[in-house]
Structure 1
């Protein structure tokens, strides 16, 4: 099974991201756009694991979230950015401002603890972001796109939980099934 830990958005954030995607679709020659309900902030991509490891993964996550006493985090959308591909914006994403250091700390702690039970440790630097499209060819420059999105990118969100998801193929599409949600503590 394919697993990841992510923050799943509330309804108002989902609508805002859908609005951003709609503006970008009008400026794109082509691209693949994830279903807006599947958009999230990945905290840790675990990848393919055998079903038998799920209880140990859940136990490790339980212990990690309890030990860290994770607090809610506040973020604001930043500019549109991308990871490059061959002639295209391989992955278009919205950057974040706010409690970034704390989110990176959480990612690193989860990564470290899952490596302790034999899962692969992350080799790339963790860049918190919201993926909104793939393999996109835009008619406009990144600067022009950010200007068009300026008002829509004025948005704040609060992260109060993380969810362990299972990603499955269904009807030719990816479907994310929540397995367990970890609610953050308001206590410091």
Structure 2
């Protein structure tokens, strides 16, 4: 099973982002837009994991959630990854208590390390992926979306749990969740 660890933004903010995606997608109809049910902030991608190892992942994540208080995040602005004139990925920015989110991500990575999951070697930067170009060379239409994102302010959300997701055929299913601040 393919697993990753993430936090979600709650139904109200997800609905606001979904409405905005509907408007943005008109500017870049050929891009692959993230389905609303898949909106999340990834903390760690684990890849293919067998059932016994997945149980170990759940075991080590439980105390990580308990050690962190709930936090407030906002979704605002954004940009593109790749060449400015042909971005490959469109993303929204994350504000609010990003220091606490970074600490949570670091603790998730530290807990998973002894199980053999290698942490990313670059600094964690929270972002909400909105769309991907179908072409590896990027999508000129996504550049117009980047401009539209500059003034976007979509609201705030209270993050109250870490979620272990299983990815099946492009759909994400919660496998376990770990409330923040709950021993």
TM bucket by the smaller chain?
Answer: 0.7 to 0.9
**Shift of residue 186, structure 1, vs aligned partner:** 7.7
What residue in structure 1 maps to residue 12 of structure 2? 12
CA contact (8 A) 2:65 2:162 kept: no
* Aligned CA distance change for structure 1 residues 120 and 23 (closer, same or farther; 3 Å): same
* SS of residue paired to 2:117: coil
CA contact (8 A) 2:7 2:159 kept: yes
Gap regions ≥5 residues in structure 1: none
Superposition TM-score, scaled by structure 2 size = 0.86
What residue in structure 2 maps to residue 183 of structure 1? 179
What residue in structure 2 maps to residue 107 of structure 1? 105
Structural mapping, 1:109-188, within 5 Å:
109-135=107-133, 136-138=139-141, 141=144, 144-146=147-149, 150=151, 153-169=153-169, 174-185=170-181
* SS of residue paired to 1:155: strand
* Aligned CA distance change for structure 1 residues 137 and 51 (closer, same or farther; 3 Å): farther
Structural mapping, 1:69-80, within 5 Å:
69-80=67-78
Q: Which runs of 4+ in 1 moved over 3 A?
A: 139-144
Comparing 37-46 with 137-146, greater Cα deviation is found at: 137-146
**Shift of residue 124, structure 1, vs aligned partner:** 2.3
* SS of residue paired to 1:112: helix
Q: Distance in 1 between matches of 2:65 and 2:148?
A: 38
**Shift of residue 87, structure 1, vs aligned partner:** 5.9
What residue in structure 2 maps to residue 27 of structure 1? 27
**Shift of residue 52, structure 1, vs aligned partner:** 2.3
CA contact (8 A) 1:80 1:142 kept: no
